Amino acid sequence: MSAMWCHLLAMMLLATSAFAADGEIDGDVFAGWHVVIDGRVRGSAVASGAIVDIGARVDDDALVAAGRIAVSGVVGGDLAATGLSIRLAPSAVVAGNAWLAGARVETAGQIGGTVRIVGWRVALGGEIAGDVDIYAASIDVLPDAVVKGRVTYHSPEPARIDAAARLSGVEHQGVVWPTRLVGIVGAVVAVVAIGIGLLAAAIALIAVAAFPNFTAGASNAIAAHPWSTLGLGLALLFGLPMAAAFALVTVIGSVMAVPLVAVYLLSLPLALAVGALHLGRLGLGAVGRSWPMGAGWRLVALAVGIAVTVLGASIPWIGPAVPCAVLLFGLGAVYREAFRRWRLWVEPVASP
């Protein structure tokens, strides 16, 4: 049991730090708030964090998941990247294929194989040796684009192709959604969203009622260290799935992958509960109800936090940021409180 917790804690601590790799290192997993790879990586690289910069050479494949991804170095194999923003600089070189998925994707530099892009806004540039397949709402083909293969794109509107771009062939496959299908999908999404919301609220109530000391301690962690807790939550949100993915491809680590994924999935509803509890705590504090609170008032604080989260999520444009912030603060607080309690349990055992 202690070995499992040591592995989990090692992965959590790995995900909390800013990481900078320089010099020459063997292929590895890199995780942190801001991961900078500015030295040669012999082998493949798996990187996760809020920001990932690849500025040097990765000899083999690179697998990246982050909020913002920037590649200005050389990837000797394939590149697979998913994030909110992905940018391949003019100096970037990808020897193999590139699979890119993000809200905004911009390519430049050189790609030696095929390119597959899924995004909201895509700007295609640079020299690409193979075919290009794009799924996006908005597509711009830049003046420096040189595609030796065929460009196929799926979009509700025609791509904006600069006259200076050199393309071997272009095919537009429009995205047409029947009105009835849109209505059905919208209804299904609404029902599922309501169901998930009610389930999350029920789990949150059970968590706060069943684990009052733990959830209160996690809320205290947010109050004492708000920004580091937020950063920890963001790093864990990306870092733990990446650690599990890496564990799956190793003989020894595959034993840890399933419990790691299970712990991660179970921690998400608990994180929402803690985040909502702290939000409600702030709301009640504004009207004079001080912390700590009794069991009844903690449930009231949770209900207030859930209501504020739901109302905030309905705000146009910025709405999704509210539940995301609640989740990130809560996730960081859950693991911070778990680590604190683990240390309290270990230290008496370790002392003579």
pLDDT for 159-193, tens place per residue?
999 999 999 889 988 765 555 545 655 666 566 56
User: What residue ranges do the domains of the chain occupy?
Assistant: 17-174, 179-350
Q: Work out the angle between the directed axes of helices 321-350 and 2-16 (0-180°, nearest 10).
A: 130
Contacts of residue 129, Cβ cutoff 8 Å, sequence gap at least 6: 111, 112, 113, 148, 149
For residue 202, the Cα-to-chain-centroid distance in whole angstroms is: 25
Q: Looking at the predicted structure, is the pLDDT value of residue 249 above 90? A: no
- Per DSSP, the residues of 129-189 read SS-EEEE-SEEEE-TT-EEEEEEEEEESS--EE-TT-EEEEEEEEE----HHHHHHHHHHH
What's the pTM value of the predicted model, to 2 decimals? 0.52
Q: What token pair was written down for 238?
A: 């990306």
**107 close to 90: Cβ distance less than 8 angstroms:** no
pLDDT at 347 (0 to 100): 66
**295 close to 350: Cβ distance less than 8 angstroms:** no
How many CB atoms are located within 10 Å of the residue 97 CB? Answer: 19
Tell me the percentage of the chain whose pLDDT exceeds 70: 75
| 112/98 Cα distance (integer angstroms) | 9
CA neighbor of 86 nearest in space, from 41, 121, 126: 121
The model's pLDDT over 83-135, given as tens digits with 9 standing for 90+, comes to: 788 999 999 999 999 999 888 899 999 999 999 998 889 999 999 999 999 98
**133 close to 116: Cβ distance less than 8 angstroms:** yes
